[in-house]
Structure 1
Amino acid sequence: MVFSSSIFLWLFLPVVLVLYYLAQERWRNVLLLAASLFFYAWGEPVYILLMVVSILINYMFGCIMERTEGGTKKKFWLITAVVLNLGMLGVFKYAGFAVESINSIAGTEVLPHVEIALPIGISFYTFQALSYVIDVYRREVKGQKNLISLALYISFFPQLIAGPIVKYHDINEQLGSRQCTAEKFYKGVQRFIWGLGKKMIFANTLAGAADMIFGLTTAELGFGTAWAGIICYSLQIYYDFSGYSDMAIGLGKMFGFEFKENFNYPYVSKSIREFWRRWHISLSTWFKEYLYIPLGGSRKGNGRTYINLFIVFFCTGLWHGASWNFVIWGMFHGVLLVIERLFLGRLLDKNPVKIVNHIYVILMVIVGWVFFRAEDLSYALGYLQAMVSFGKETFLGAGVFVTPYILTCIAGAVLMSGVLRGRIERFVRAHINQKVIDVSEVILCVFILGTAAVMLGSGAYNPFIYFRF
């Protein structure tokens, strides 16, 4: 079940909301847990057992570590919990990849082929479970005695499938008590509709052109077509994933929860460092808190800092998918961050012509997205070659795929990705009455919801990109 589907919008969500606000407060978590398990079972009826096992294992280790004093025993229980969590993730997500890599290196089939279906959302809920046991080990929080509360934290349907990754210490208190106000509910609905519009109007429209172009062979790609395809994909993945995050944050507000932001206009960044402070914030902060800092962060000299960055971005790439393409994408960003730490960052900070910084960031991010989107490494390299094959085709050749409608969508997506959004908001606040703003927001939300409903009715929607991670 996806948020941008009729069954979710017109049946599941309204029913759950009505039951939630009719229920007594002490039963609300039980209701949300039941709804979350049903939501997951709708698409993954078998693998719901895996999630239940994950919940029980982490509940048990949380209780054990809560009763264990600091020292070797407590560290043993933490290591065991981490190994079990990552072991489950490794088997289901990386077993096939590991076998293929070993056979490829050996040049023969040393190990039999392994094919295991990837449970939806396993990367997200595994990282949330790890956040819990690590937070308990560090004594940042107490072990959760209420199994229902922990189960809800790991399985809560708004951010279960594609994030944002919620760290336990950020939501611990809300699991026990939270306020559900009319204002928060309204803001939640507004945020959800805005995310739905991102997904349906921008991401899905651009996905059509991106999929067609990436469906071509590298021999069929020309200069203009290649650039058109990766520009569409770069905007698609931003609006797809940030749209999902908006919907998740909005749904959380409807049920009284406050989730942290996951995106902050990353395409306006002036350095790759800044990009990662704005892109998929929940993942980057997770790796910072639970991997980079424990490795030593930047406290042990430049050499160790660079190694730590490479480790983190190797893991960031691998977390996204069992493919060398994702690893290369992660390492590519890791190399850029090291270069910025070495010398480029100082040059960017001192550069008075900031548009140059923006161009640098956009070009590097786009190159990275080629590896992220391509099916394999050879296709990625062929695609990059087409992007610099200036004489092979002009931008006009891309007109076969980029229709005037797509071109208009690209222009709107670029402007709303941060280029004009901030300026528009400041102008509106300074020159327009607040009541007019409020009415306009309602009208805009109704328009977006109506447009999304029409697009849903025509069958014009596709799954979120991050579902496969």
Structure 2
Amino acid sequence: MSFTTVTFIFVFFPISMALYYLVYFLEFKNKFKNLKKFRILDLTVIAISSIFYIWAIFDDIFRFYAYIFIVYLFGKIIEILKQKNKHLVVYEGERNKRISLAVPILALGVIFLVYTLVHFKYTGILARLYNFFFKSDIVAKNYIAPLGISFITFSAISYLVDIYRGDAKSGSLIDCALYLIFFPKVVSGPIVLWKDFSNQIDERKINIDLMTRGITKIMIGFSKKLILADTFGGLIATANGSIDIFTSWGVALLYMLQIYFDFSGYSDIVIGMSNMMGYSFFENFNFPYISLSITEFWRRWHISLGRWFREYIYFPLGGSRKGKKRSIINILIVFIITGVWHGAGWTYMLWGMINGICNAVERLVSKKNWYIKTPKFIKWLYAMSVTFFCWELFRFSDMTSFKNWIKIMFGVTTFDNIPYTWQYYFDRRIIFLAIIGIITSTVFGLPKIQNSYKKALEKKSLYIINQIIITAMFVISLLFMVNSNYSPFIYFQY
């Protein structure tokens, strides 16, 4: 079930929240103490989340329950072994090395999680690689990946590793289930770490400020998604076949805007819903299109994913502690994995490699005089140019489609008969919304504009005007939703 459907907005979400608030407030009544004792509120959220998940694919829920139970068992065993301080003795030359028994259990748990992800998502590409290198003709069976498997896998790894590191306790089976199946984030994140989520399970409190912030966030998210992202996506979906150069460049620009407003809008909706339920999650986007480097871009884009890779891949590999050369290798490894995680195709791998190489080169030249003195506009132009073309890699699932599109963009491929020119696709409405998209994704993120906006909201009259504008945008977004036949979130496929 998508968030941007009439059923979700007007049926599922209102009923779910009404039930959640009813149970939440009954817990504060002395005569309903058993509700808290038996975790009725959390069981209610798990039930709501299960219905949300079942709505998409009924059969997956039973596999998901088994998956949750296995993850919980691994976590509990790791915690017990750590508490009892059980060790293995490993012989290394003349010395004996003691290794916690929790280490092999953690390794088994991570292997299980990664195997599950690979089994459902990467069997096809692994078979193609095997056939290419060994001249074989293995035919891989295609599996339908469980909904949200990529994000669930990363959350589950966070659960096990945080327990092993002592950053959080394993909690109960209900805690583990609540964390993994929590319906706002289960499909496409953001990736909330277990150590951040577990601290809020017993401490969450619903108040007017948090609810107001949540509702505002949801309305902004819907406006980003339905007014901007879906409008751009609808045009992109139709601009195929024989097109002119201007259309190809325009479509590439719109895709750059679409993927930002689509995913940042989704993240805003998730964060807003979580706020309404008493949870506070970190922001997932911070105006990435004002970045002056690819390194900065990845500090601002999909922040939760970047944090996950730093915590569970980059730092365990040694981070920057083992010298510059090792640091560069670690960066490249992280970005190759990032590319593969997004999709089982060469375009995703190349996309990850380019971003990794740019990060590595920027690390090497960051303290050079010529780089420091380079005008900010040139740095921004470089970062956005790399991002612009990398998104085209991201847009196509195979290299042939990507190459064909690039040939059109640079005039290598031309068409004698073009049924619709750029004037047809880029009418006044599209141009107006594209300008709005460019301004709100760049200018609005500048520090001076942000500071002025925050100061303005301190005045009650301007705050009220701001809320009226956001509410009006939300109403308009609902009208767009009713009249549009394009609504899928891009990141649902990952």
Quickly name the TM-score band, shorter chain normalised. Answer: over 0.9
2:481 corresponds, among 414, 431, 456, to 456
- Name the CA distance, whole Å, in 1 between partners of 2:311 and 2:195: 12
Deviation at 1:440, TM superposition (A): 1.3
Q: Tell me what 1:77 maps to.
A: 105
Matched, 1:266 2:288: yes
Residue aligning to 2:224 = 198
Listed as ranges, the matches of 1:39-438 within 5 Å are 39-69=52-82, 70=85, 71-109=99-137, 111-144=138-171, 146-213=172-239, 215-216=240-241, 220-343=242-365, 346=368, 350-351=372-373, 353-389=375-411, 397-422=421-446, 423-430=448-455, 434-438=459-463
* Counterpart AA for 1:184: L
273-282 vs 436-445, greater mean Cα deviation: 436-445
Moved more, 420-429 or 433-442: 420-429
Shift of 1:392: 5.7
Distance in 2 between residues matched to 1:317 and 1:283, nearest whole Å: 12
CA distance in 2, matches of 1:227, 1:439: 40
C-alpha change, 1:122 and 1:18, in structure 2 (3 Å) is same
Q: Supply the distance in 2 between the matched residues of 1:244 and 1:432 (Cα, whole angstroms).
A: 24
1:169-219 C-alpha deviation (Å, 9 max, x unpaired): 111111122111011111101100100000000000011222223x33xxx
117-126 vs 64-73, which deviates more?
64-73
TM-score by length of 2: 0.89
Superimposed CA distance per residue, residues 130-182 of structure 1 (whole angstroms, 9 cap, x where no aligned partner): 101001111111221x2111101011011111110000111111112211101
Give yes or no for contact 2:248–2:409 (8 Å, CA) kept in 1: yes
Task: In structure 2, give the amino acid aligned to 1:78.
Answer: L
Matched residues in 2 for 1:143 and 1:331: separation?
36
Aligned equivalents of 1:137, 1:429: Cα separation in 2: 41
2:112 partner amino acid? L
Q: 1:162 to 1:224 in 2, by over 3 A?
A: same
Cα–Cα, structure 1 residues 391 and 99, in superposed 2: closer, same or farther, change >3 Å?
Answer: closer
Which residue identity lines up with residue 307 of structure 1 in the other structure? Answer: I
Measured in 1, the distance between the counterparts of 2:437 and 2:421 equals 22
Contact 2:218-2:272 at 8 Å conserved across structures: yes
Number of aligned residues: 461
- Higher RCO (C-alpha 8 Å, min separation 6): 1
Q: Is the 8 A contact 1:348 1:357 kept in 2?
A: no
Give the equivalent residue in structure 2 for 1:13. 13
Question: What is the TM-score normalised by the length of structure 1?
Answer: 0.93
Gaps of at least 5 residues in structure 2 are 28-35, 86-98
Q: Note the C-alpha offset of 1:106.
A: 4.4
Whole-Å separation in 1 of the counterparts to 2:169 and 2:351: 37
How far 1:457 moved relative to its partner?
Answer: 2.0
Unpaired segments ≥5 residues, structure 1: none
Alpha carbons 1:132, 1:167 under 8 Å: kept: yes
Give the Cα–Cα distance (whole angstroms) in 1 for the partners of residues 182 and 236 of structure 2. Answer: 32
1:339 deviation in Å? 1.3
**Rounded Cα–Cα distance in structure 2 between residues aligned with 1:431 and 1:248:** 26
Give the C-alpha shift of residue 425 in structure 1: 4.5
Shift in Å, 1:391: 10
Taking the aligned partners of 1:330 and 1:143, their CA distance within structure 2 comes to 33
SS of the counterpart of 1:9?
A: helix
CA contact 1:223–1:391 (8 Å) conserved in 2:
no
Instruction: Give the alignment's Cα RMSD to 1 decimal.
Output: 2.0
Structure 2 vs 1, CA of residues 106 and 184 (structure 1 numbering), >3 Å: closer, same or farther? same
Distance 1:294 1:442, change over 3 A: same
Query: Sequence identity of aligned pairs in percent?
Result: 34
C-alpha distance after superposition, 1:434-463 (max 9, x if no partner): 122222133123212211221222244411
Q: Structure 2 CA distance, aligned partners of 1:229 and 1:347? A: 38
In the alignment, is the contact (CA less than 8 A) between 1:367 and 1:384 conserved in 2? Answer: no
Q: Structure 1 residues 319, 447: closer, same or farther in 2, change over 3 A?
A: same
The code of the aligned residue for 1:265 comes to F
Deviation at 1:421, TM superposition (A): 4.9
| Structure 1: distance between partners of 2:209 and 2:391 | 39
Amino acid at match of 1:328: L
- Encode CA deviations 1:80-129: one digit per residue, 9 max, x unaligned: 100111111110111122112323444552x1232111222111111101
Partners of 1:379 and 1:345 in 2: CA distance: 39
Cα distance change on mapping 1:432 and 1:379 into 2, 3 Å = closer
Q: 1:426 & 1:460 partners in 2: Cα distance? A: 38
Going from structure 1 to structure 2, the CA distance change for 1:441 and 1:166 (only over 3 Å counts) comes to same
Residues 291 and 181 (structure 1), Cα distance of their counterparts in 2 relative to 1, 3 Å cut? same
Q: In structure 2, give the amino acid aligned to 1:229.
A: V
Report runs of 4+ in structure 1 exceeding 6 Å deviation.
Answer: none
Deviation at 1:223, TM superposition (A): 2.8
Residues 432 and 38 of structure 1: CA distance in aligned 2, closer, same or farther (over 3 Å): closer
**Quick one: distance in 1 between partners of 2:53 and 2:214?**
22
Equivalent residue letter for 2:192: V
Q: CA deviation at 1:420?
A: 3.3
Cα distance 1:426–1:293, how it changes in 2: closer, same or farther (>3 A)? closer
Name the structure 2 match of 1:30: 43
